[in-house]
Each structure stands twice: as C-alpha cells, then as structure tokens.
Amino acid sequence: MNADDEDFEWEPPSEAEMKVIQARRERQDKISKVMGDYLLKGYKMLGECCELCGTILLQDKQKKNYCVACQELDSDIDKDNPALNAQAALTQVRERQLAAQPTPESNGTSSNDPPLSITGQPRPEHCEGAASGLRGPALNPQPAPLPVPAVNPPFLPPSNPPLQPVLPPGPTNTLLHHPALSSAEEAVLHKLRWATQELQHSVSVEASIQLCNLIRGCAESLRSLKELQL
C-alpha cells in the first residue's frame, strides 16, 4: 500500500487538531438537525452540494435552492477563534483607509502599526467596542492623542496605544461628501463621545455594559457609513 511511507510521518492528532475536529463535528451535527427539520417541512433534498461550503442543498416548494450552512449558521473556518474574525474585519477597514489617503503626515508610526495590530494578541471581542469607542473622541482633530491611552489601560492590552494615531487622520481625511451621510456621522460621533464620558463616570456594572454596547453599536454604524462611501 502506498500509505506505508505516509505512516512513518504520521503523528497522533494534537490537542488543537482534536478541538478543530470536535468543533467541525458539532457544526455538522447542527447542520444535520436543521436539515432534518426542513425535510420534515417538505423541502426536497437535492443531489447537489453548495459550492461554498459543500453542504447538501435543499429546495423549497417554490423551487428555490437553499443552503442551510451558508444562510443559517455562521461561516465556520475560524469558529474557535472568533476574535480573529473581528480583527480581520477591522484590519481590512484600516487598510482601505490607508490606501485611500496617500499622505502619512502624522502617521510616522502608521506603517508599523498595522502589522503590529495584525500580529498583536487578538483582543477579546467585548473590548472591540470599547476600543473603537475610545478611538471615537480621538477622531476630533486633537493635538494629543496620547492622553487617551493613558486612560485606557484597564480596558485594553498594550498593543492598543500604537493604534490610536492611525485612526484619527483616517476618518478626518475621508470625510464623507454627501451632506446626509456627514450629518449622520456627526450625530453618531457625538453619541459616541457622550457614551464614553458616561462610561468613565459610571459605577454600576449594568450601565457600563449597556454603554459599551452603545459604543460598539456606534462604531459599527460608523464602519458601515464609511463602507457606503468606499
């Protein structure tokens, strides 16, 4: 058998690989369960597979094809590392912003920063909102972005402060031209600022969580607004 020579190189699967296998199996179980439910509702199981994920396609009564995995479950490849997803999204946004504005005048460190942020430790997701929120006030052209990091050590790991100089020039240079969009952005930024200030003064856990959520929501709206333009 030609597998003999492969046997010499074989090692038992490591912990991480077992975890990936386990996660994949759970995902497969979920897919099967959902597909079973759809079959009982009268959907037809086709003989074709989805091109994106390889799951078997279903067809509903209106002859429309439906892939359970793509449309209902999240994409799975890095399911065990969700922070990587948000990270990847943010870095993509930042890269676009960098590509859009050619002059890195205050960004002396900007060329170093993106790589640092990508290869830096993945930030826990709940801090993303806070991180983007705290970048918010720095969007106003302030002379010293440095005080901001000083406030934030309890929230952010140390890889954050280098990021601060990256963003402020970005959004200001890519100000939206359309008046409606710019007013929307202004309103969101205003709310972001207010929420940050409230967060600094809040004492209850519940309120802090809600403020963080608000900040995250504002950051996401800002991101979508920017994407509209790009």
Choose the stretch contacting other proteins; rule: CB under 8 A; options: 1-9, 79-87, 90-98, 163-171: 1-9
How far is Cα 91 from Cα 106, in angstroms, rounded to an integer? 19
CB 41 → other proteins: shortest distance, Å?
9
CB 43 → other proteins: shortest distance, Å?
7
Contact status: 44 vs other proteins (CB under 8 A): yes
Closest to other proteins by CB, 13 or 108 = 13
Q: Which residue has the tokens 């509903």?
A: 60
Distances, alpha carbon 32 to alpha carbons 36, 49, 55, 66, 68, in Å: 6, 14, 10, 14, 9
How far is Cα 81 from Cα 68, in angstroms, rounded to an integer? 22
Closest to other proteins by CB, 32 or 81 = 32
- Calculate Rg over the CA atoms of the chain: 23
Contact status: 3 vs other proteins (CB under 8 A): yes
Closest to other proteins by CB, 56 or 184 = 56
Q: Which of 1, 150, 203, 205 binds other proteins (CB under 8 A)?
A: 1
Closest to other proteins by CB, 28 or 112 = 28
Segment 7-36, which members bind other proteins (CB under 8 A)?
A: 7, 10, 12-13, 21, 28-29, 32-33, 35-36
Closest CA to 78 of 27, 41, 118, 114: 27
Q: Which of 19, 26, 39, 230 binds other proteins (CB under 8 A)?
A: 39
Closest CA to 34 of 58, 2, 64: 58
Please list, residue by residue across 7-20, b when 16 or more beta carbons sit within 10 angstroms of its beta carbon and e when fewer do: eeeeeeeeeeeeeb
**Do the Cβ atoms of 43 and 24 come closer than 8 Å?**
no
Contact status: 55 vs other proteins (CB under 8 A): yes
Interface contacts to other proteins, rule CB under 8 A: 1, 3, 6-7, 10, 12-13, 21, 28-29, 32-33, 35-37, 39-40, 42-49, 54-56
